[in-house]
Amino acid sequence: AQKITQTQPGMFVQEKEAVTLDCTYDTSDPSYGLFWYKQPSSGEMIFLIYQGSYDQQNATEGRYSLNFQKARKSANLVISASQLGDSAMYFCAMREGWNRDDKIIFGKGTRLHILP
Amino acid sequence: DTGVSQDPRHKITKRGQNVTFRCDPISEHNRLYWYRQTLGQGPEFLTYFQNEAQLEKSRLLSDRFSAERPKGSFSTLEIQRTEQGDSAMYLCASSLADREANEQFFGPGTRLTVL
């Protein structure tokens, strides 16, 4: 079974609109971390935001926020006031367990296109 | 620039040849990870080091693959007898585990094409 599921292969959004990128995850471990990364066409993975499984509040970083719904095992990324430079691949990822050394498991990604 | 660097950025080789890639992590980071990314997929974990010790290897890492981090700083990933299926982007990441998130910072990757 997929550990990380991103159901939107691609999205087109008008500039300045808000965007929600979907992510659901599968784990039986009570301790885990959720990440979102951005990958522009240059190829480099850029860390955006992190949510710990025990965090009570949704994580926010500037225009990025993570809509964490633990019971639904959902960790959607919300980008407010989208910009042309937001066009990229976006990956949701998870680290399972207490050990912060553990590998990150990535989803297949969503390609976001921001339209002028 | 003090980010993660990788060399080379692109490598084209013929099937059967050996290739070696280098990764220089962020200087104070003690953990270093290798991932492989094929077209249309997210990165897949290959292996990771804590300082010079290789602590985990994925089953994706066949015996043709070997990774080292001899002095706990830079790392190399070698692929022997390359196959066309090895064509992919090879990503390196590093992290500093004293942060709760322990987020991994990635390099620009090495794109390997096996002809």
Question: For residue range A2-48, what is the model confidence (pLDDT) as tens digits?
Answer: 799 999 999 999 999 999 999 999 998 888 999 999 999 988 899 99
Taking the CA atoms of chain B, what radius of gyration do you get in angstroms? 13
Q: Do A108 and B44 make contact, defined as CB atoms within 8 angstroms?
A: no
| Partner-chain contact A108 B106, CB within 8 Å | no
Q: What is the pLDDT of residue B112?
A: 97
pLDDT, residue B56, reads 84
Q: Give φ, ψ of B12 to 5 degrees.
A: -115, 130
Given an 8 Å threshold on Cβ–Cβ distance, is B106 in contact with A52? no
- Per CB-CB distance under 8 Å, the chain B contacts of A46 are 106
What residues of chain A lie within 8 A of the CB of B44, using their CB? 106
At residue A100, the pLDDT reads 59
Closest C-alpha among A3, A4, A11 to residue A110: A11
**Range in A49-53, A59-63, B45-49, B101-105 the model is least confident about:** B101-105
A91 or B29, higher pLDDT: A91
Are B41 and A104 in contact (CB < 8 Å)? no
Parallel/antiparallel/unpaired status of strands A88-96 and A105-106: antiparallel
Confidence class of residue A1 from pLDDT cuts 50, 70 and 90? low
Residue B98's pLDDT is: 67
Q: Give the per-residue pLDDT at A109.
A: 96
Sign of the Cα pseudo-torsion (B97, A108, A34, A88, in order): positive
pLDDT of residue B32: 94
- Identify residue B15 by its one-letter amino acid code: R
Q: Do A65 and A50 contact (CB within 8 A), yes or no?
A: no
Proportion of chain B above pLDDT 70, given as a percent: 96
pLDDT tens-digit readout, A67-114: 999 999 999 999 999 999 999 999 999 988 766 567 789 999 999 999
Q: What are phi and psi of A53, to 5 degrees?
A: -65, -20
Please indicate if any CB of chain B lies within 8 Å of the CB of A46.
yes
Q: Strand, coil or helix: what is B5?
A: strand
More confident position, A93 or B56: A93
Q: Mean of the pLDDT values across residues B71-90? A: 95
Chain B residues whose CB is inside 8 A of the A4 CB are: 42
Contact A101 B31 (CB under 8 A): yes
Is residue B30 predicted with pLDDT exceeding 80? Answer: yes
Return mean pLDDT, chain B: 91
Phi-psi region of B4 (alpha: psi -120 to 50; beta: other; left: phi over 0): beta
All residues of chain A having their beta carbon less than 8 Å from the beta carbon of residue B43 are 45, 91, 104, 106
Q: Which of A42, A47, A100 sits opposite B97 (nearest CB)?
A: A100
Cβ of A33 within 8 Å of Cβ of B104? The answer is no
Angle at B21 between CA B15 and CA B22, to 5 degrees: 175
Return the higher-pLDDT residue of A101 and A57: A57
pLDDT at B28 over 90: no
Positive or negative, the CA dihedral B61, A105, B34, B53 is negative
CA distance B45 to chain A (A): 7
B40 and A108 in contact by Cβ < 8 A? yes
Report the pLDDT value the prediction gives residue B11, as an integer from 0 to 100. 97
The minimum CA-CA distance between B63 and chain A, rounded to whole Å, is 20
Query: What is the reported pLDDT for A101?
Result: 61
Q: Strands (DSSP E) along B14-109, which ranges?
A: 19-24, 31-37, 44-50, 53-57, 65-68, 75-79, 88-95, 105-106
